[in-house]
Amino acid sequence: MMREIYYNQALREALHEEMNRDPCVFVMGEDIGLYGGVFKVTEGLLAAFGPQRVRETPISENGFVGAAVGASMTGMRPVVELMFADFAYVAADSIFNQAAKMRSMSGGRVTVPLVIRTQQGGGRGNGAQHSQSLEAMFAHIPGIKVVLPSTPYDAKGLLKSAIRDENPVVFIEHKLLYSTRGLVPDDEYTLPIGQADIKRPGSDVTIITYSRCVLQALAVATQLAEEGIDVEVLDLRSLVPLDRNSVLASARKTGRVVVVHEAHRFCGVGAEIAALIQEEAWDELHAPVRRVTAKDVPIPVAPSLEQAVLPQEHDIMAAVRCLMSDNKNCS
Amino acid sequence: MHINTVSSEKTLDLYTRMLRIRRFEEQVGTLFGQGQLPGFVHLYVGEEAVGAGVCAALRDDDYIVSTHRGHGHVLAKGGDMNRMMAELFGKATGYCKGKGGSMHIADFSIGMLGACGIVGGGLPVAVGAGLSAWYRGTDQVSVSFFGDGAANEGSFHESLNMASAMKLPVIFVCENNQYGEFTPAIKAMNIRDIADRAAGYGIPGVIVDGTDALAMYEAAEAAVARARSGQGPTLIEAKTHRKGGHAEGEKAFLGGGEYRLPEELMAMEANDPIAKLHRIVMTSNLVASDDLEELDQQITQAVVDAVAFARSSPDPALESLYEDMWA
């Protein structure tokens, strides 16, 4: 049986089930107990599991992420919450120099089964230090898996897999997705990390995207269908590992690709996907791969400016129309 | 002079641990000077009493997290000379199959969770190992070794505060060797004793003569007992010195410039931790002089054997490049 639940509820169920299943799993972070986390993902866990397994920390991001690394190396499976992805810079040493490298540096003699849950993205006027999308930063450093679910169903199944994974996983939620709803099975399930999902099949153009932009892409696809443009929406769901086969299969199928993400354009994931497609599927492309991304400025607060910086549905629509036109100079 | 209340057996154990470190490090210095080792090498010569004293107070299943100056900690915890030497040579038989090198040696079978190339990077990891022991309901303790330089990193503050607030079984051992890389510690902070900072976290701060192995052992024993019995962390500041530079070959970096005074080096020589313990062992008649001589020969031979093992070991296969990244 399926039921419709919120994205944050789906995440909470995953945490609850995994904490029930495995006594080595514990959650740790700022204000995750009594307050339930600022986006209410951990609400109710304190009552269910007590203050030891729902461990509130000082505001010491590098300290508690580093402690989670040490705990994961010695038999535990911590799930830490970084309240905002922007704070990953504060915890950068523990994430990039410690967690990502421990296994490789030790010649594979240790595992680091650690999950760093965080949320990112703009659209709420939170300003330049609380609205960034940092997935390319994490994906750039070898040794960390990077997962970005777009729906409650994916969020639950992927978080459960992330907790069971023997590697460090950065699990990136989106602040505007928490209040979205979707169908989730009553029964327990997991989803494999590293498999993209065709959220909408189509034949003319592929939109390759992830996280909240999947919702925008689907809305665009619905509108363009009325114009007779058949859009495929491929949700990557994870960047590391990247499902190269699904990316290339869809690119070959439609021959036209737009990559959409909320992160900045320069050195972003869109550049990587575009490079991959031109290296592997050049002959099957009808047009250059296009990108719709945030502009390369810190995210401003004023709603008019923030909207101008972040990718909007009309931007995606314009990019698709451009790909379908004969005008190679459109944008 | 410290009044020796440590058993003869433990005193000899300390002496052995220290001599293993000294002879190993002397050889490593020579090899580096000959250009035979890749990367950086930071030697523990002069600081042996700290690692040996602390690790002699630990069980095999207790954890330590080390620093970029980590060879001494590995040996003090009971590590294997062959595998460490092979790692320094970057060989497939090394502790980390040649991927870690001097600054990343780890031996999880003896609770050595790894050296760390980032100053202060290991403190939170040690806190996590203590947290893990607490969760698993063991009475293991976790030791974080770090230098005076790391005491000025944010991770020092975060780690001591967190371990204290959560009452975790962690022992913070600051090896104050008077220099953060090439800068005197007294220029980098406006206090003389890093142990004073313990008060800011509500934990005991203890100053120990880090060239006195017996004093180090006793201070560590007290801190370990406190941690094991659930009373929380201790900060031990070991006043020590490094006989060499920050890294081997550093004169090249500095263009031959002097930054350490001759009188300082002379005082250090007079305060050598191994010579000090040697005198105690001899004046207490714990063993015959010949026995100590024989011990030295055995250790020296083990170092020679380790070099031979490393030299005769294969380089890592190129196919191993993508191995061991994902579990």
CB pairs under 8 A between A and B: 150
Position A143: which residue type?
A: G
Instruction: Answer whether residue B119 shows pLDDT above 90.
Output: yes
B37-79 pLDDT per residue, tens: 999 999 999 999 999 999 999 999 999 999 999 999 999 999 9
B322: helix, strand or coil: helix
Do A248 and A285 reside in the same domain of the chain? yes
Q: Sort out which chain B residues have CB atoms less than 8 A from A109's CB and list them.
A: 95-96, 106, 108
Query: B131, A104: Cβ pair inside 8 Å?
Result: no
Q: Sort out which chain A residues have CB atoms less than 8 A from B142's CB and list them.
A: 70
Identify whether the C-beta of residue B44 lies closer than 8 Å to the C-beta of residue B69. yes
What is the C-alpha to C-alpha distance for residues B179 and B149, in angstroms, rounded to an integer? Answer: 7
Residue B325 covered by a domain:
no
**pLDDT computed for residue B256 by the predictor:** 54
CB atoms within 10 A of CB A96: 18
Percent of chain B with pLDDT over 70: 96
Give me the residue from B155, B159, B325 closest to A104, CB to CB.
B325
A71 touches chain B (CB under 8 A): yes
> Is the pLDDT higher at B182 or at A242?
A242
Distances (CA, A) of B92 to B84, B317, B320: 11, 8, 9
Average pLDDT value for residue range A275-290: 97
Cis ω for the linkage preceding A241 (within 30 of 0): yes
Percent of chain A with pLDDT over 90: 98
What is the C-alpha to C-alpha distance for residues A70 and B195, in angstroms, rounded to an integer? Answer: 24
Q: Sort out which chain A residues have CB atoms less than 8 A from B121's CB and list them.
A: 66, 93-94, 97-98
Do A247 and A277 reside in the same domain of the chain? yes
pLDDT tier at B248, thresholds 50, 70, 90: confident
The count of structural domains within chain B is 1
Query: A60, B108: Cβ pair inside 8 Å?
Result: no
Map tokens 């609770």 to a residue.
Answer: B111
What is the C-alpha to C-alpha distance for residues A285 and A327, in angstroms, rounded to an integer? Answer: 15
Residue B226 covered by a domain:
yes
A19 touches chain B (CB under 8 A): no
Query: A142, B325: Cβ pair inside 8 Å?
Result: yes
B160 touches chain A (CB under 8 A): no
Residue B65: phi and psi, rounded to 5, are -120, 130
Query: B124, A166: Cβ pair inside 8 Å?
Result: no
B64 touches chain A (CB under 8 A): no
Query: B162, A143: Cβ pair inside 8 Å?
Result: no
Instruction: Answer whether residue B253 shows pLDDT above 60.
Output: no
Window 72-111 of A: residues touching B by CB (8 A cutoff) are 72-76, 78, 93-94, 97-98, 102-111
CB atoms within 10 A of CB B256: 7
Instruction: Answer whether residue B254 shows pLDDT above 70.
Output: no
Alpha helical stretches, state H, A102-212 = 102-105, 135-140, 152-164
Do A254 and A298 reside in the same domain of the chain? yes
Do A63 and A91 reside in the same domain of the chain? yes
Q: Sort out which chain B residues have CB atoms less than 8 A from A52's CB and list them.
A: 135
**pLDDT computed for residue B182 by the predictor:** 86
Among residues A18, A30, A61, A232, the one annotated as catalytic is A61
Terminal-to-terminal C-alpha distance of chain B = 52
B21-42 pLDDT per residue, tens: 999 999 999 999 999 999 999 9
Give how far A304 is from chain B: nearest CA, Å.
38
What is the C-alpha to C-alpha distance for residues B94 and B316, in angstroms, rounded to an integer? Answer: 9
Average pLDDT value for residue range A60-66: 98
Q: CATH number, domain at A75?
A: 3.40.50.970
B276: helix, strand or coil: helix
Do A139 and A209 reside in the same domain of the chain? no
Residue A147 covered by a domain:
yes
Do A102 and A174 reside in the same domain of the chain? yes
Residue B327 covered by a domain:
no
Residue A238: phi and psi, rounded to 5, are -140, 145
Beta strands in B164-223 (DSSP E): 170-176, 179-180, 183-184, 205-209
**Which residue segment(s) compose the domain that A118 sits in?**
2-185
A307: helix, strand or coil: helix
Active site residue A232: no
Do A212 and A253 reside in the same domain of the chain? yes
B158 touches chain A (CB under 8 A): yes
Query: A63, B158: Cβ pair inside 8 Å?
Result: yes
A290: helix, strand or coil: strand
Q: CATH number, domain at B49?
A: 3.40.50.970
Collect all residues with Cβ–Cβ distance below 8 Å to A131 and sequence separation of at least 6.
A86, A120, A121, A122, A123, A124, A299, A306
Residue A192 covered by a domain:
no
B170 to chain A: closest CA residue = A67
The count of structural domains within chain A is 2
Q: Sort out which chain B residues have CB atoms less than 8 A from A93's CB and list them.
A: 118, 120-121, 155
Do A240 and A112 reside in the same domain of the chain? no
What is the C-alpha to C-alpha distance for residues A331 and B79, in angstroms, rounded to an integer? Answer: 62
Collect all residues with Cβ–Cβ distance below 8 Å to B290 and sequence separation of at least 6.
none
Residue A15 covered by a domain:
yes
Strands A54-56 and A25-29: parallel
Give how far B38 is from chain A: nearest CA, Å.
15
B255 touches chain A (CB under 8 A): no
Residue A42 covered by a domain:
yes
pLDDT tier at B4, thresholds 50, 70, 90: low
Average pLDDT value for residue range B148-163: 98
Q: Sort out which chain A residues have CB atoms less than 8 A from B63's CB and list them.
A: 74
**Which residue segment(s) compose the domain that B133 sits in?**
8-310
Query: B128, A109: Cβ pair inside 8 Å?
Result: no
Average pLDDT value for residue range A21-37: 97
Average pLDDT value for residue range A267-271: 98
Query: B158, A58: Cβ pair inside 8 Å?
Result: yes
**pLDDT computed for residue B2 by the predictor:** 54
Window 175-234 of B: residues touching A by CB (8 A cutoff) are none
Residue B70 covered by a domain:
yes
Give how far A33 is from chain B: nearest CA, Å.
15
Active site residue A61: yes
Q: Sort out which chain B residues have CB atoms less than 8 A from A111's CB and list them.
A: 327
**pLDDT computed for residue A137 by the predictor:** 98
pLDDT tier at B306, thresholds 50, 70, 90: very high
Average pLDDT value for residue range A193-203: 98
Residue B248 covered by a domain:
yes
**pLDDT computed for residue B257 by the predictor:** 59
Average pLDDT value for residue range B222-244: 96
B104 to chain A: closest CA residue = A105
Last residue of a domain, one of A125, A151, A185: A185
Structural tokens at position B98: 């040649």
Do A9 and A122 reside in the same domain of the chain? yes
A74-114 pLDDT per residue, tens: 999 999 999 999 999 999 999 999 999 999 999 999 999 99
Do A179 and A51 reside in the same domain of the chain? yes
Query: What's chain A's Rg over C-alpha atoms?
Result: 20
**pLDDT computed for residue A250 by the predictor:** 98
b/e map B232-245, b = 16+ CB within 10 Å: bbbbbbbbbbbbbb
A57 touches chain B (CB under 8 A): yes
Q: Give, as one character, the DSSP assignment of residue B107.
A: B
Collect all residues with Cβ–Cβ distance below 8 Å to B76 and sequence separation of at least 6.
B17, B21, B48, B51, B52, B54, B55, B56
Residue A330 covered by a domain:
no
pLDDT tier at B1, thresholds 50, 70, 90: very low
Query: A111, B326: Cβ pair inside 8 Å?
Result: no
B100 to chain A: closest CA residue = A105
Instruction: Answer whether residue B261 shows pLDDT above 90.
Output: no
Average pLDDT value for residue range A252-261: 98
Do A85 and A65 reside in the same domain of the chain? yes
A119-154 pLDDT per residue, tens: 999 999 999 999 999 999 999 999 999 999 999 999
Residue A331 covered by a domain:
no
Residue A191 covered by a domain:
no
Do A61 and A20 reside in the same domain of the chain? yes
A304 touches chain B (CB under 8 A): no
Map tokens 């051992």 to a residue.
Answer: B173
Q: CATH number, domain at A306?
A: 3.40.50.920
Give how far B105 is from chain A: nearest CA, Å.
7
Average pLDDT value for residue range A322-330: 81
pLDDT tier at A328, thresholds 50, 70, 90: low
Q: If you average pLDDT over every residue of chain A, what do you get?
A: 97
Q: Sort out which chain A residues have CB atoms less than 8 A from B326's CB and list them.
A: 103, 167
pLDDT tier at B286, thresholds 50, 70, 90: confident
Last residue of a domain, one of A139, A164, A185: A185
Last residue of a domain, one of A156, A185, A214: A185
pLDDT tier at A263, thresholds 50, 70, 90: very high
Q: If you average pLDDT over every residue of chain B, what do you get?
A: 94
